[in-house]
Amino acid sequence: MTETMRPSLSTGTKSPGRFRWIILSMLFVGITINYVDRIVITLVFTPAFKLQYGITPEQWGYIGAAFAIAYAFGQIASGWMLDKIGTRLGYSLSLLLWSICAMLTALGGGWISFAIFRAMLGVAESPSYPGAAKICAEWFPQRQRSYAFGWVNAGANMAAIVTPLVVPWLAIRYGWQAAFIWTGAMGLVLLLFWFPIYRRPENHPMVSASELALIQSDPPEPTAKVPWVKVILYRQAWVFMAGKVLSDGIWWFFVTWIPTFLYGPPYNVDLKNIGWPLVTIYLMADAGAVGGGLLSSFLIRRGTTVNRARKITMFISGCCAVPIIFAPYIHDLWSVVLIVGLAVAGHQGYSSNLYTVCSDLFPKRMVASVAGIGGFCGYMGASAFQIFTGKWVQITHNYYGPFLCAGVAYLVSLAVMHVLSPRFQPADPGKDMPMTDAIRNRIALGIGVAGACVANLLFVVTTGDGPGLKLGALLTLLGAIVFGGVTRLILRFMK
């Protein structure tokens, strides 16, 4: 049996227009600003700053979790909103609100107030990536989509390059509040360009007929309507959710904890010198983002199926993260920077293809909703990992556990995705039976395993100590039964 989804490579002899790349450029700038607003706090919160405001590693974990939880719940609503009101208005509203919330962080004065402002930012920024996935699906054919989303991910890396070069200078010269105000204001400048320029390609006067033909060159999509709440019944949605729940937690760990890791012993980097190590890490990440998109697009152009091209690229990307397991054992600054940079590059290559998988498996009109649901799962995982990391560092004074998780998460995530969908068969909302009982059982089993981990994690978080063998076995059993059983019961009645 041959694999599905082998795209046509014919695009005609006439060279299409290039206006879609202007749209991608604005999206790149938007994601860059989005991540600048996320990253500022990780640089401002130096050890001296945390000591001044009495912020412990555990509380720093809670601040990161506040953003992640708010972002997670915002993803659910934002995906639905973007599918309902469109990307032009939806992305503009998000851009306006996140810029305001970023500037409001300058009013913080303790860990609780910082957590509140970060939660507000999380809600406001939540439409950014579902919107980016939907915009790429609207403006690019399938064979160019992972390359386009590679540039979207490169925006996050560009933010990580620009921020450590600009924010320390702003904070040292004008005070830490100025860092939040000036970086937050950048989004308002972009809004002046985005709203007047952006339209869907079929409605845009700057899109030529040949370019529109290229954009719409994929086979016709199913037109049947699917109620939003039933999207999670599709096993294809669970493929994307499985990919996000592990990888997002690790990415947010990189964003929030790598500066803290480098500020501490044995590296003892300070605010004045943090710039170039982070620039190096995220220049490597840029290469991973664009390279991951290029590799899968290259394989597809060579005739490789979409399924195989995506999974080969994601496997290579996941392998790049494995060496980070050894990062806590390396005491040379630039050696650890290169290992972390390789892992972050691997994440970006993985993520570029993961978001494209969403548009591979679902019609364009459903992409934002699916991406939002996947983002919810991803950042709920991120919030748990933030709390876990804060507790781990506070209790053990090392990073062995978090880096071990970071090293294996991507390959585990890909394995789960492959079990759920060995061939990345696209959903047909008008014809497909959403899920078989076998798929429901697999999902319940996966949720049960996650529940067992959550039960043990909650014990560690609440008591500050690990459970013994007998109690750990009991918590594992109860977590698996409660989470897995309830999930299976819900899926049974949601046919």
Last residue of one domain, picked from the residues 434, 449, 470? 434
Q: How far apart are CA 385 and CA 461, in angstroms?
A: 11
The answer on 166 and 119 residing in a single domain is yes
User: Who's near 283: CB < 8 A, 6+ residues apart?
Assistant: 157, 161, 341
CA angle 186, 192, 195 (to 5 degrees): 120
List the one residue out of 222, 207, 216 whose CA is nearest residue 362: 222
Tokens describing residue 473: 């076995």
Give the length of the chain. 495
Cβ-contact 137, 364 below 8 angstroms: yes
Q: What is the pLDDT of residue 10?
A: 41
Q: Which two tokens stand for residue 395?
A: 């209790």
pLDDT at 177: 92
Answer yes or no: is 9 within a domain: no
If asked whether residues 162 and 174 sit together in one domain, one would say: yes
Same domain? For 423 and 299 the reply is yes
Of 434, 459, 487, which residue sits at a domain end? 434
What is the pLDDT at residue 4? 39
For 299, the token pair is 């394989």
In a domain, 15, yes or no: no
Identify the DSSP state of 329. Answer: G
**355 and 445 fall within a common domain:** no
pLDDT block averages, 10 residues each, the chain of length 495: 39 63 90 91 87 88 86 79 84 93 91 91 88 85 78 81 88 90 92 89 85 78 61 79 88 89 89 87 87 87 89 95 95 95 94 83 76 81 85 87 93 90 76 61 71 65 59 74 75 59
Q: 49: burial class by Cβ within 10 Å (0-12, 13-18, 19+)?
A: middle
Same domain membership, residue 231 and residue 167 = yes
Closest by Cα among 66, 21, 29 to 387? 66
Q: Are residues 444 and 368 in the same domain?
A: no
How many distinct structural domains can be found in the chain? 2
| Predicted local distance difference test score (pLDDT) of residue 317 | 95
487 and 419 both lie in a single domain: no
Query: For residue 198, is it within any domain?
Result: yes
- The answer on 446 and 367 residing in a single domain is no
How confident is the model at residue 355, as a pLDDT? 76
Number of H helices and E strands in the chain, helices first, is: 17, 0
For residues 310 and 6, the answer to whether their CB atoms sit within 8 Å is no
> Which pLDDT score is estimated for 286?
82
Residues 454 and 401 in one domain: no
Question: Which residue range(s) make up the domain with 43?
Answer: 20-202+227-434
How big is the chain by its Cα radius of gyration, in Å? 22
In angstroms, the CA 282 to CA 347 distance is 11
Could you check whether the bond before residue 265 is cis, i.e. omega within 30 degrees of 0?
no
Question: How far apart are alpha carbons 410 and 402 in whole angstroms?
Answer: 14
pLDDT confidence of residue 390: 86
Q: Which of 213, 217, 304, 232 is nearest to 2 (CA)?
A: 304
The answer to whether residue 36 is domain-embedded is yes
**Shared-domain flag, residues 428 and 444:** no
Q: Which residues of 436-453 are buried (b: 16+ CB within 10 A; e: fewer)?
A: eeebbebbbebbbbbbbb
Based on the domain organization, do 141 and 170 belong to the same domain?
A: yes
Identify the residue whose tokens are 């490597």: 284
440 in the same domain as 429:
no
Token pair for residue 404?
A: 């071990």
Residue with tokens 């592990």: 246
Give the list of residues 6+ apart from residue 19 with CB closer than 8 angstroms, or none.
204, 206, 207, 208, 211
Contact of 317 with 346, CB cutoff 8 Å: yes
Dihedral class, residue 453 (left if φ above 0, else alpha if ψ from -120 to 50, else beta):
alpha
For 123, 137, 296, 305, the CA distances from 216, given in Å and listed in that order, are 33, 10, 20, 19
